[in-house]
Amino acid sequence: GDDDIAIKSGKDAEGRRIGIPSQNIVVRNCHMLNGHGVSIGSEMSGGVQNVLVENCDFDGTNAGLRIKT
């Protein structure tokens, strides 16, 4: 499977130049089936901050939360 929810914020030099982070993200009351759950990355040149995941069911996922580097 693939990412159920993917959080990204820019890629390579262009992402660093613009520099806008993904921020203030709330993932709530959801059901994820198979896949990789909530994934942060891999295109993260702008950064990420303030992510909340609560009251979610992960059924058959590889991970609940996956941070890609």
The catalytic position among 2, 12, 31, 59 is 2
- Cβ pair 31, 60 in contact under 8 A: no
Burial class (CB in 10 A: 0-12, 13-18, 19+), 35: buried
The verdict on whether 31 is a catalytic residue reads: no
The verdict on whether 2 is a catalytic residue reads: yes
Cα-to-chain-centroid distance, residue 11? 14
The catalytic position among 3, 12, 31, 36 is 36
- Residues assigned a catalytic role: 2, 36
